[in-house]
Amino acid sequence: MRLFSRLHPRRPPLNRRERGVAMLVVLTWLALMISLVSEFTYGTTVDAAQAANARDELRAHYLARSAVNLARLLIKIQQRYIDPSMNQAKQMLQQALGGSKSGSGGAGDLGGLGAMAFSLRITDYAGPLMGFFSGSKDEVASLGSLVGIDTAGIKGLGLKSGSFDAEITSEDGKIDIACGSGVTPDRNRQLTVFRLLNGLMFSRRFDRLFSEADKDGQFMTRPEVARAIIDWADADDQMFSPEGSSGAEDYKYDARADRYRAHDNTYDTIEEVKMVRGVSDSFMEAFGPHLTIYGYGQDCKVNLGAISNKNGGDCTPLLMGIVRAAMTPDPGKPPTDPSILDDTRLYPIASVACDRASAAGFDSLATVTGLMKSPQTAVLPDDPRYKIFQSMPPIVISDADLAKVAKVESPRIYRVVATGVSGRVKKKITAIIDTRRQVENPLTLNPGSEMAAGVLQYWREE
């Protein structure tokens, strides 16, 4: 026993304070490892998400650019093939109907085609057409079945991931508020813009916009707002006046809390008009869709061949403004037919004219003036509006008066709003394309191809 005791001496009893140390060490080690693993996992997850976002942003950007390129292709197809074909079809139909001439007070006032007139704008169907390239295989197959095409053996259609779309509208069928502006302002052009703006804003349903004070507590009348829009973009210090004589410009832009000066040069973007006194968000919501700064003509005329109700727009207020401007050659005097100031008389006719513009387009100014005289020719006899229009007094406007503020020709300048979506990322590109402008600053080594595709006047990514 003694020998065993010597070989295996008894250990002294542990102090209670020393019990559980191993447990604490293990728990501390586990907590440290958990924190390290969590930090590593979190960092890896963030890096993977950042990489995915960067990938989706790049992919969405190029999807939006693909939509812009396809839109430019559709515009070129419209001008190169569809417009000439439509003109030939209209001529053939007009000959088949006996070659009736405009100005006869009947269907001939609609370009000889009456209610049977038609038009095709491929740009109005940009969304469905792009579905062939941006949709899934099932979506592409369903679109192909609608037109009788088997897309199973066609390569290059559809996307495995992401999507893109584009909306194409014409800028020609708007009021060019930059016309006559710049370093050398032209008063005659400014007078045309003034007449068009006054006509656009005249309707009584817009009275609230001009009966409430702006954020500076100031009240502005319709002519004052039109004058301010013109004065913002001209280089002189003389306030525009349709009468020809006025004082110096004094819009007190430098008296605001956020001081600035008038641009005194042509507009850079349409959003710049928000800085003009009297122009509010409500003003832009009401009139912004009918204004542009990308006009090309030196006459400031609105292209009636480009107006439409499609793509969520309503050209009725614009057409009412054009008619009122044409019949008010002197803004300081009443129009030649004061009854056009009555919305209840002008609105129904302008509304059916816009429907006609969307469905068949206008082939001449005589089409518009003829429709104003005989609006019933734009609807079918079984339409309830037919008898109503027959009983209404005609709006007599001459082609010469309308030609001072409007014209009819094929659209030239287009606005393309393209979107690309990849994952959770959405990119938007807004481009203004002039299809007949000369290339001033080529972006590539082939200016000819740039001009053929349409010259970019504006490009914004967001």
pLDDT for 102 equals 42
Say which residues have a Cβ less than 8 Å from residue 433's Cβ, sequence separation at least 6: 71, 72, 75, 413, 414, 415, 416, 454, 455, 456, 457
Say which residues have a Cβ less than 8 Å from residue 201's Cβ, sequence separation at least 6: 209, 210, 222, 225, 226, 287, 321
pLDDT for 155 equals 74
For tokens 């060019």, the residue is: 176
- Give the whole-angstrom CA distance, residue 417 versus residue 397: 36
CA angle 291, 443, 56 (to 5 degrees): 80
Mean pLDDT in residue range 354-362: 82
pLDDT for 114 equals 46
Mean pLDDT in residue range 430-440: 87
- Give the whole-angstrom CA distance, residue 398 versus residue 403: 9
* Contact assessment for residue 411 and residue 306, using Cβ atoms and an 8 Å cutoff: yes
Higher pLDDT pick, 76 / 21:
76
Q: Which CATH architecture has domain 180-280?
A: Orthogonal Bundle (1.10)
Whether 5 shows a pLDDT value over 70: the answer reads: no
- The secondary structure of 190-231 as a DSSP string is HHHHHHHHHHHH-SGGGHHHHHS--TTS----HHHHHHHHHH
Number of Cβ within 10 Å of residue 167's Cβ equals 19
Sequence ranges of the chain with CATH classification 1.10.40? 180-280
Whether 118 shows a pLDDT value over 80: the answer reads: no
Q: How confident is the model at residue 141 (pLDDT cuts 50, 70, 90)?
A: confident
Whether 379 shows a pLDDT value over 50: the answer reads: yes
Sequence-ordered alpha helix ranges (H) in 78-99: 83-96
Residue-level length of the chain: 462
pLDDT for 248 equals 80
- Give the whole-angstrom CA distance, residue 251 versus residue 260: 11
